[in-house]
Chains A and B, each alone.
Chain A
């Protein structure tokens, strides 16, 4: 199996604080990989480094064979990204935003693909609304659509189900599973363990910037242990005391 993401000794300092500290991991093609961790553990920083949005203080990483430090823009050509916090530009409508992304990414049949996403995520009635007037959930749907519009072989998602209602969460989880079974790879970060337990094949647990565990979800569950219990043991229960 090929590794689509290889990180070796990735470190990122903000001042004296090591947000990510000497992290090495490998993500195989065709997996649904979950990066878990408490709030502030470095998950978002990790994703930002893997997508070339933030330069590591040290270490290397390749995404689909592209060195993200040397060529961050090329890395972002190949992947789809759903950031946790960024939102679509305020003064474009939802459909205009997908048009914008399609033109940036030079996507063919963009109109048809956009129409599909509007129907699939059930927000076609909002396609002519300015992004600033969309609810957070609808904006999240839009961000989801823009990440997969070009059908990338790898998608990196920071908190995939945030702002989604239960119905939409089910839809999205099914989509991600199907996406992986069709040959794609997903790298997601989340602090919602139930999501990881339900859909991830492999996980790594990040705590205070360091990997404290990595392996398959099946191995953890085979120990007759819930992922949440395993996670709490891995990060130390005192974190939540």
Chain B
């Protein structure tokens, strides 16, 4: 699909780009190791691959197949079990395997290749590269397996998910707080990195295979035949939003997210869970960064993650619903941007709560300003580069490179400024101007596009 849309070259260059970025990053390793202990750096990288697995699982697998099947927008392939002699578990397992291989080749392997080619720059050994090939791959798979299991539990029963999650968090917190030996085994692939032995390898494999197996065997079709009925809540919501641009469309987005269950699922698996991993990653750097600076780095990165809420709104909607109405692509972009703005309350609450819980209530407001400003800016870049199709077009190498160049330096500048003095975080409001201009330009830029991705 991706190569059909972008052309073979545009798609093929994507992993090449990932490898190139990693190769260049390899040159930074000797300098980073001078400041950050090697073990800490390795842990952060493993956590980033865990995060990658979580985000891929939260989107690529959940977004199209699991959530859609659970909540009604079935794809022909996924529903083949109705008409062909193949079970839905087998279809599902095939999708799991397919997407695992696909994203491994798209992300993990290019990263490893970049590190391998960067050996002369980084001074790492070939055996080390061999080691991280295994452990980073397992970290990715671990993230994927975890979010898979959690989403299966959620699809079965949100209460069951809450129960399981609470239990796991309590146990993990207890282990960490009591400093029980073996904390590292909470993250099996990283434990393997620290101790590459047969028993730990088996443990890591089991830690991945078990959630995968449970989620596949727990996967059931939900065709109860019940008709869900609601009184007209849409009218009330649209009325309340009357002052907002594209209020009828925003009201529909809200109902879509809520009634499909995608809202809770996406907040958990595509926002809070990744942010938790990021917070842990940054906390690991507490030896070199003061707590308050971790908060602002977290806020800035959270802003970039929050920008993907625009992708939630576009991916779970079908543009085909609107093609026969008097709406153009600019109208839809404007409505999605407005809906995105409403969703930023989640980001605000998350940063505020994080600031308070980490003992930095005084810095909550500037942290929120930084996060929200970065989020709107990153979203405007996404709109400019991808229109209504961010989840698809991000796999075009040119789009990925452009987004990295437009967002990356800006992010680093504001993190650096907030490190100098947290009050500089307020300067992030100046991002409102380029964000506004990018959205305005995008409305013209995408006006002539045909609605092909539906």
Contact = CB atoms under 8 A, between A and B. Distances in A.
B325 A104 contact: yes
Contacts of A162: none
Given A89-B256, A91-B256, 13 more contacts: A89-B318, A91-B259, A92-B234, A92-B256, A96-B234, A103-B238, A103-B247, A104-B325, A130-B227, A130-B230, A132-B73, A133-B227, A133-B228
B325 A76 contact: yes
B451 interface: yes
Contacts, number: 101
B327 interface: yes
A232 interface: no
B421 interface: no
Q: What band does the interface of chain B fall in when counting residues whose beta carbon is under 8 Å from A? A: 35 or more
A129 B229 contact: yes
B57 to A, nearest CB: 23
B229 A130 contact: yes
Interface string B67-91: 0000111000000000000000000
Interface stretch (A1-9, A51-59, A166-174, A191-199): A51-59
B248 A86 contact: no
Q: What are the 6 A-B residue pairs with the smallest beta carbon separation, nearest first?
A: A96-B234, A81-B324, A103-B248, A132-B72, A77-B326, A91-B259
A92 B255 CA distance: 7
A96 B235 contact: yes
B326 A105 contact: yes
A166 to B, nearest CB: 24
B323 A89 contact: no
Interface string B304-334: 0000000000000110110111111001000
Interface string A16-31: 0000000000000000
A133 B259 CA distance: 13
B248 A100 contact: yes
Contact of A86 (B226, B228, B260, B324): B324
20 contacts: A51-B324, A55-B448, A76-B325, A89-B321, A90-B256, A92-B256, A93-B232, A96-B233, A99-B232, A99-B238, A100-B234, A100-B252, A103-B238, A104-B249, A128-B231, A129-B227, A129-B229, A130-B72, A132-B72, A132-B73
Contacts of A90: 71-73, 256, 260
Interface in B236-269: 238, 247-249, 251-252, 255-256, 259-260
Contacts of B233: 96
B230 A128 contact: yes
Interface of B: 71-73, 226-235, 238, 247-249, 251-252, 255-256, 259-260, 317-318, 320-321, 323-328, 331, 448, 450-451
A74 B331 CA distance: 13
Interface string A82-96: 110111111111011
B148 to A, nearest CB: 24
A83 B324 contact: yes
A100 B235 CA distance: 8
Interface of A: 51, 53-55, 72-74, 76-77, 81-83, 85-93, 95-96, 99-101, 103-105, 126, 128-130, 132-133, 147
A92 B254 CA distance: 11
Nearest to A96: B234
B244 to A, nearest CB: 13
Most buried by B among A77, A92, A99, A133: A92
Contacts of B451: 53
Contacts of B251: 100
Nearest to A47: B324
A99 B252 CA distance: 11
Contacts of A93: 229-230, 232, 234
B166 to A, nearest CB: 29
Contacts of A76: 324-327
Nearest to B248: A103
A126 B230 CA distance: 11
Contact of B320 (A86, A91, A104, A126): A86
Contacts of A89: 252, 256, 317-318, 321
Contacts of A86: 320-321, 323-324
A96 B255 contact: yes
A18 B232 CA distance: 45
Given A128-B231, A130-B230, A73 B248 contact: no
Contacts of A129: 227-229
Contact of B248 (A88, A104, A132): A104
A26 to B, nearest CB: 23
B72 A73 contact: no
Nearest to A135: B227
Nearest to A85: B320
B63 to A, nearest CB: 15
A133 B328 CA distance: 28
A132 B255 CA distance: 13
A227 B252 CA distance: 45
Contact of B323 (A74, A83, A95, A105): A83
Contact of A99 (B234, B256, B320, B323): B234
A73 B231 contact: no
A227 B317 CA distance: 42
